[in-house]
Copies of this chain bind each other. A is one copy, B any other.
Amino acid sequence: MSRRILVVGGDAAGMSAANQALRTAEHLGEDVLVTVLERTGHTSYSACGMPYWVAGDVDDVSELIARTPEQHRAAGIDLRTGTEVVSVDLAARSVQARDGDGTHRIEFDELVWATGASPVMPAWTRPDGALPHGVLPLNDLDEGAAWLALLAVDEQLDVVVVGGGYIGVEMAEAAVRRGHRVTLLARSRVLKGLDTALGDDVTAAMKEAGVDVRAGANVQSLGVAAGRVTSITVDGEEVPADAVVVATGITPNTDLVRDQLPAAAVGASRGLRADQHGHVHGHVWAAGDCAEVRHLVTGDWAYLPLGTHANKQGRALGEAVVAGPERSRWSFPGALGTVVTRFEGCEVGHTGLARGEAELLGLDVVELVTRGTTASGYMPEAEPIAIKVTAERGTRRLLGVQVVGGAGAAKRVDAAAAVLHLRGTVDDLAWMDLSYAPPLATAWEVLQVAARRVAERLG
């Protein structure tokens, strides 16, 4: 009989795992049956692309879908959309799944948990037990479509974004580009993981675009009339609101399996701790936003829900669940916390640790912010850029880099990420042979000037 691999969740992580499992089985001549249960009708869509769909960059939702259910089925996957897992029995190796026809028991040999995460909805979002019209997170394609319907209108609306993280910033951009009046409420400040000076640059760019950015904001309640949101009360002030984006964080979808796993297999985030092969425990595997990953700078587990990890983890998992870890040709090494985004012309990038995170680990750190330009100062392409480099005293090890600046700024963190991945020093970053041409960089690449200044500070 075929080995039964059951994947729960049909987005990036699950479908990467399913596809790789089939390819690996073919490569090894193994007999497997790969079944994917997906709650919605969609597979393999770009969640990260949704703010740009709402903003109008993407003409049709089909562009966000990397592969349709039909394409997955044609590749040999037993894909069942509209099928929600309602319970799991790890000991019996079976799940109960509900579809249009009722609830069925499905057995497995290996379970791949790839259920993603759900938005955290604060109590104030449901004043009468339900979300008022116009109050919504942005978590799946249906919510993306709802946001498109709300914001792609001729009328100028009052849009309030609650949450100063990456999704909040991207949805604020989308609402600005749709011509609305936008308020962003951040509990602490915008992109709080960034150095204060760099975060201030982002805030300034948002304010320049007309966003009313409020840091240290405490949301108290919603005003609702006829089932629609009309206002949001923040620190005693009633702010008009035709729509409220709830971007206050997400939590891993692990309720159905968490309690059946050893405590060590589940993180404080409630994410499943999947090793470099995606293996959690026994016959349970996990990838994507429902999983924690190894942070390569701290060595600890971390909850870093991002599409890149979902794709990579899924692929490594798909190989290992068929080949076994010892025969796997590759594995997911872990992550560095690399993130980039953009607010109009202002790009933001971040990799590794900031001072606070490093000091929590007991590291003695030095960090400096360096300002420069993305291209030679005499070129029209030159844009301001600010870079913070963080390194460990003594070992001189690079710990992290943050960047805020104009076009071309954000992807500069990739060279720093490579140094972090290979555990290089701040001197490596400062003196290695990075590229230069006047329209693209300065003769001393600004990232290297930033690293050199920290190296000099280290003596």
- Residue positions of A touching B, CB distance < 8 A: 12, 46, 48-49, 52-53, 57-58, 63-64, 296, 306-309, 311-312, 329-342, 347, 349, 351, 376-380, 407-408, 410-419, 421-422, 424, 427-441, 443-445, 447, 455-456, 459
Most B C-beta atoms less than 10 A away, residue of A334, A342, A351, A432: A432
Which of the residues B48, B63, B443 comes within 8 Å of A443, measured between beta carbons? B48
What are 17 A-B contacts defined by CB distance under 8 Å? A49-B378, A57-B378, A308-B435, A308-B444, A308-B445, A334-B433, A336-B433, A340-B436, A340-B437, A407-B407, A411-B435, A413-B435, A414-B445, A417-B435, A418-B432, A421-B428, A421-B433
A297 to chain B, nearest CB (A): 10
Distance, CA A377 to CA B63, complexed state (A): 8
In the complex with contacts A46-B443, A311-B444, A417-B433 CB distance below 8 A: yes
Of all chain B residues, which has the CB nearest A316?
Answer: B431
* B438 adjacent to A52 (CB under 8 Å): yes
Which of the residues B333, B378, B380, B410 comes within 8 Å of A437, measured between beta carbons? B410
Ranked 3 nearest A-B pairs via Cβ: A418-B418, A63-B378, A422-B422
In the complex with contacts A415-B415, A418-B415, A424-B422, A341-B437 CB distance below 8 A: yes
Of all chain B residues, which has the CB nearest A312?
Answer: B431
* A378 adjacent to B52 (CB under 8 Å): yes
Distance, CA A379 to CA B51, complexed state (A): 11
**Contacts A308-B436, A329-B459 known; 16 new A-B pairs at CB < 8 A:** A12-B443, A46-B378, A48-B438, A57-B439, A58-B378, A63-B378, A306-B436, A336-B432, A337-B433, A341-B437, A351-B435, A408-B411, A411-B440, A413-B435, A418-B419, A419-B422
In the complex with contacts A431-B333, A459-B329, A49-B376 CB distance below 8 A: yes
Most B C-beta atoms less than 10 A away, residue of A306, A378, A435: A435
* A433 adjacent to B48 (CB under 8 Å): no
A118 to chain B, nearest CB (A): 21
A285 to chain B, nearest CB (A): 18
Distance, CA A109 to CA B198, complexed state (A): 47
Of all chain B residues, which has the CB nearest A329?
Answer: B459
Distance, CA A445 to CA B332, complexed state (A): 15
Of all chain B residues, which has the CB nearest A337?
Answer: B433
Distance, CA A46 to CA B441, complexed state (A): 13
A70 to chain B, nearest CB (A): 19
- Please give, as numbers and ranges, the residues of chain B lying within 8 Å of A52 by CB-CB distance: 378-379, 438-439
Most B C-beta atoms less than 10 A away, residue of A52, A338, A441, A456: A52
A58 to chain B, nearest CB (A): 5
- Please give, as numbers and ranges, the residues of chain B lying within 8 Å of A329 by CB-CB distance: 456, 459
* A441 adjacent to B312 (CB under 8 Å): no
Distance, CA A339 to CA B438, complexed state (A): 12
- Please give, as numbers and ranges, the residues of chain B lying within 8 Å of A407 by CB-CB distance: 407
* A307 adjacent to B436 (CB under 8 Å): yes
- Please give, as numbers and ranges, the residues of chain B lying within 8 Å of A436 by CB-CB distance: 48, 306-308, 340
Which of the residues B339, B412, B438, B456 comes within 8 Å of A411, measured between beta carbons? B412
A411 to chain B, nearest CB (A): 6
* A46 adjacent to B432 (CB under 8 Å): no
Distance, CA A424 to CA B422, complexed state (A): 7
Most B C-beta atoms less than 10 A away, residue of A312, A413, A429: A312
In the complex with contacts A63-B377, A432-B421, A443-B12, A437-B57 CB distance below 8 A: no
In the complex with contacts A57-B379, A422-B422, A333-B432 CB distance below 8 A: yes
A436 to chain B, nearest CB (A): 5
Distance, CA A421 to CA B429, complexed state (A): 9
Distance, CA A430 to CA B331, complexed state (A): 11
- Please give, as numbers and ranges, the residues of chain B lying within 8 Å of A308 by CB-CB distance: 433-436, 443-445
* B408 adjacent to A311 (CB under 8 Å): no
- Please give, as numbers and ranges, the residues of chain B lying within 8 Å of A430 by CB-CB distance: 330
A53 to chain B, nearest CB (A): 8
Of all chain B residues, which has the CB nearest A380?
Answer: B57
* A330 adjacent to B455 (CB under 8 Å): yes
* A414 adjacent to B417 (CB under 8 Å): no
- Please give, as numbers and ranges, the residues of chain B lying within 8 Å of A445 by CB-CB distance: 308, 414
- Please give, as numbers and ranges, the residues of chain B lying within 8 Å of A63 by CB-CB distance: 377-378
Of all chain B residues, which has the CB nearest A350?
Answer: B435
Most B C-beta atoms less than 10 A away, residue of A333, A347, A436, A445: A436
